[in-house]
Structure 1
Amino acid sequence: MEIQKLNWAGIRLTSHNKTILIDAVEDFSYYKPVLGDAVENLLAFSDHVQADYILFTHMHLDHFDKRVIQKCLKKDGKLIVYAGLEAIVKKLVEDVEIITLNLDETFTENNITFKPVFAMDGIGEIQSSWIVDDGTTKIFHGGDTIWHNQFWKFGKENPNIDYAFLPVNGVVVNFEIIGLEYSPVPASLNLKEAFAAAHLLHAKKLIPIHYGLFAHEKCYIPHVFDENDMKSVAEELGQKYITLKDGAILIES
């Protein structure tokens, strides 16, 4: 499996001559009032990536990009959707084949298995995490989930996870601009929670996502950390990790 880190929480997987996009977003402009400007140049990929399968964890526009689906999904490609989001997706996306899965239900095609599992969104909206397994490499993608009590269960029921892609920015959001009361409780996993979740998943390595690219002094306030903090938490919890810059490729045999 070849793994490429895309913008923010996005990844591209290539296996068995098939391309999979998860949480692949290119246009973050709609969320600029609350996320602020990207602090680094965004990776442009939609002009040259053609996907056989597209997945997303939830409908926030920093994880779901309708334009990416329109540009990147092959004519015979499939949009794989958690059942809790099916009705919303069908109102937004037309003329594509949709595979709908309940939590813990699997779909296998071309020797690749897809499974949505429980997740919790930081502001109470519908979300799932995804497990993708090509028979050689198994990945877990956690979108921007907060901490919940299912990580123990996932680790027991889904052995041999190679890479856990988990959010680490522990962001505090102030979305009063869209009618949500302020809460000081983080709306995504923080660094220590992500390492602990990866440990409970028995993942060989954590790959941090959903950090570093956005911050807004009033609306979107991430937990700040550096490489030394990651090393310290990794040693404390005995959890290995790899950091990938946007655009970087990890190739596994």
Structure 2
Amino acid sequence: MEIQKLNWAGIRITSHGKTILIDAVEDFSYYKPVLGDAVEDLVRFSDEVRADYILFTHMHLDHFDKSIIKKCLKEDGKLVVYSGLESYVKKFVENVDMVVLDLNETFTENQITFKPVFAMDGVGEIQSSWIVSDGITKIFHGGDTIWHNQFWNLGKENEPIDYAFLPANGVVVNFEIIGLEYSPVPASLSLKEAFAAARLLHARKLVPIHYGLFAHEKCYIPQLFDDHDLKHLSEEIGQEYMILKDGAVLMEV
């Protein structure tokens, strides 16, 4: 399995000659009023990547980019969709082969297995996490989930997980501009929560995602961390980690 970190929460998986995109986004402009500008250059991939499968954890536009479906999904490619999102996806996407799965239901094709599992969105919208396995390597993708009480069960039921891609910016959002009342409670996992969740998932390594690229002084206020914080929490919680920069590739043989 080859895994490339894309922008924000996005990853590209290549295995058994097939390409999978999860939460792959290039265009963040719609959310600029609340996210601000990207602080680093974005990874541009849509001109080169052709996907056999596209997955997303939820419909926020920093995780769901319908233009990527149009540009990147092969003619015979498939959207693999959590059933809770089916009706919403169909409002945005037409004439695409769609595999719809309930939570904990699996779909296997080309020696790759896909499984949506429980997650909780920070503002109460529908979200799943995804587990993808090629028979050798298994990854967990947590979108921008908040802390919840199913990490214990997910860890017991889905061993062994090799890499847990989990949000880590513990962001406080002020989205009154779009009608949501302000809450000081983080709307995604903090770094410490991400380490703890990875530990409960029995993941070989935590790979933090959903951090560093965006901040807005009024609307989107992330918790910042550095190498010292990573090393300290890794030792405190007993969970190994690796940092995968946007555009970088992890090779797992």
Encode CA deviations 1:19-46: one digit per residue, 9 max, x unaligned.
Answer: 0000000000000000000000001000
Give the C-alpha shift of residue 91 in structure 1: 1.1
Match of 1:48 in 2: 48
CA distance, structure 2, for counterparts of residue 224 and residue 18 of structure 1 = 36
> How far apart, in 1, do the equivalents of 2:126 and 2:119 lie?
8
Q: Equivalent residue of 1:98, what SS? A: strand
1:129-167 CA-partner distances (Å, limit 9, x unpaired) = 000000000000000000000000001000110000000
What displacement does 1:95 show? 1.1
**The residue matched to 1:105 in structure 2 has which SS?**
coil
Residue equivalent to 1:95: 95
- 1:186, distance to aligned residue in structure 2 (A): 0.0
CA deviation profile, 1:86-116 (whole Å, cap 9, x unmatched)? 0010111011100000000000000000000
Q: Distance in 1 between matches of 2:92 and 2:4?
A: 27
2:192 matched to which residue of 1?
A: 192
Aligned to 2:110: 110
Letter in 2 for 1:96: V
Provide the C-alpha distance between the structure 1 equivalents of 2:224 and 2:211, rounded to a whole number of angstroms: 9
Map 1:39-188 → 2, pairs under 5 A: 39-188=39-188
> Matched residue of 1:169: which SS?
coil
SS in 1 for 2:95: coil
Which residue matches 1:219? 219
- In structure 2, what is the Cα distance between the partners aligned to 1:227 and 1:28? 27
TM-score by length of 2: 1.00
Partners of 1:179 and 1:63 in 2: CA distance = 20
Q: CA deviation at 1:48?
A: 0.4
Counterpart secondary structure, 2:24: coil
Distance 2:179 2:249 in 1: 39
Opposite residue 91 of structure 1, the aligned amino acid is K
**1:224 Cα deviation after fit:** 1.1
- Please give the secondary structure, in 1, of the residue aligned with 2:156: helix
RMSD: 0.3
Mapped to 1, the partners of 2:56 and 2:95 lie a distance apart of 18
Aligned-residue offset at 1:249: 0.2
The one-letter amino acid paired with 1:247 is: G
Between the aligned partners of 1:252 and 1:188, the Cα distance in structure 2 is 28
Equivalent pairs, count: 253
Once the two structures are TM-superposed, the CA of residue 65 in structure 1 deviates from its matched residue by 0.2
Corresponding letter in the other structure for 1:243: I
Q: Which runs of 4+ in 1 moved over 3 A?
A: none
1:87 match: secondary structure: helix
User: How many angstroms does 1:80 deviate by?
Assistant: 0.3
Gaps of at least 5 residues in structure 2 are: none
Structure 1 residue ranges without an equivalent (≥5): none
Taking the aligned partners of 2:31 and 2:227, their CA distance within structure 1 comes to 28
Deviation at 1:239, TM superposition (A): 0.3
